[in-house]
Amino acid sequence: MYNVEIADNEPDPQRAKVRVDIRKWVASRLNRNKYGERLEVNHAHVLDITPVLEEAEKRLKSIDVEVLKNKVLNASIEAEDSDTETM
């Protein structure tokens, strides 16, 4: 069996625990990959907005607005030349 000096030589068990905990904390900061805590966050949530979109389409149709389905809007962007100064 291994003799762990930091815990075996301390007569007070509470102090020995504190000393070991401090060393574990320092080790986790010095080498996170080996001694650090591993936090895994897994989140899977499916959000279906189809009913909301259908309701919005109904509202648009009720006020005679054309509903675009699978259409691409062509737009062009005209940029002003930033080298010219206007007063």
pLDDT number for residue 27: 87
Q: How far apart are CA 64 and CA 67, in angstroms?
A: 9
Task: Give the residue extent of every domain in the chain.
Answer: 5-35
pTM of the model: 0.38
The token duo for 25 is: 């904390």
Please write the tens of the pLDDT for every residue from 17-38: 888 898 888 888 888 888 888 8
Instruction: Express as a percent the part of the chain with pLDDT over 90.
Output: 5
pLDDT number for residue 55: 92
| Residues contacting residue 16 through CB under 8 Å, at least 6 positions apart | 6, 7, 8, 10
| Residues contacting residue 61 through CB under 8 Å, at least 6 positions apart | 67
Tell me how far apart the 2 most distant CA atoms of the chain are, in Å.
86
